[in-house]
Amino acid sequence: MANRRSTARDLAQIAIFAALIAALGLPGTITVGSTGVPITLQSLGIMLTGGILGARKGFLAVAVFLLLTSAGLPLLAGGRGGIGIWTGASAGYLVGWLVGVVVIGLLTARILPRYPLWQGILINFVGGVLVVYAFGVAWGGIRTGFAAALTGSFVFLPGDILKSVVAALVIKQVHRSIPGLIEGVSSANPPAPPAQKVSN
């Protein structure tokens, strides 16, 4: 019975965060420069998903979102959907989401339950920006040339740095309020080391 409840809870969390990523696409997109890759809030959803659910459930949430989108649901920002998303300019970034959410989840688990804010920001930047950019630039380089793809990605940096900070603030508060969301992480703060006796 406990296993059923745990499975049902996990499935609910995966569905909720897949829906969150979709909802963050509702404000639409802004396309800057010649890369053709839109700026959206959905990358914030990737950071939140990995940081709150962890690597396994985070990966499944993003995979569900991408499967539904590939099936034709217009869940990507700007109402995009269908199998054609994997041939467009942003296809590399979508693959990067799957890898980035795992990186964020694994690294976040290592700093819980305390979750120092600066480490959370750094983790979100590494997984949600550097990893995602690596895949996005690689795909863009195949299409338009690596120099153009790399320089074109710089326009995203200020917004993504801000998203890393916002996500860390939210993730810290969520884990403080609802400990134990990531499997294998203790919900209690580790005990302080014993005080050493001072010899005379």
Q: Helix, strand, or coil here: 76?
A: strand
Helix spans in the chain (H):
2-23, 42-53, 55-70, 91-111, 117-125, 132-144, 146-153, 157-177
Give the mean pLDDT of the chain: 87
Domains of the chain from N-terminus onward: 2-27+39-177 (1.10.1760.20)
pLDDT digits (tens, 9 = 90+) for 127-163: 999 999 999 989 887 777 677 777 767 778 888 999 9
pLDDT per position as a tens digit, 169-199:
999 999 999 999 998 776 555 544 555 555 5
Per-residue pLDDT tens for 42-60?
999 999 999 999 999 999 9
Strand 38-39 relative to strand 30-31, pairing: antiparallel
Q: Which pLDDT does position 154 carry in this prediction?
A: 79
| pLDDT of amino acid 90 | 82
Provide the whole-model pTM: 0.85
pLDDT band at residue 200 under the 50/70/90 scheme: very low
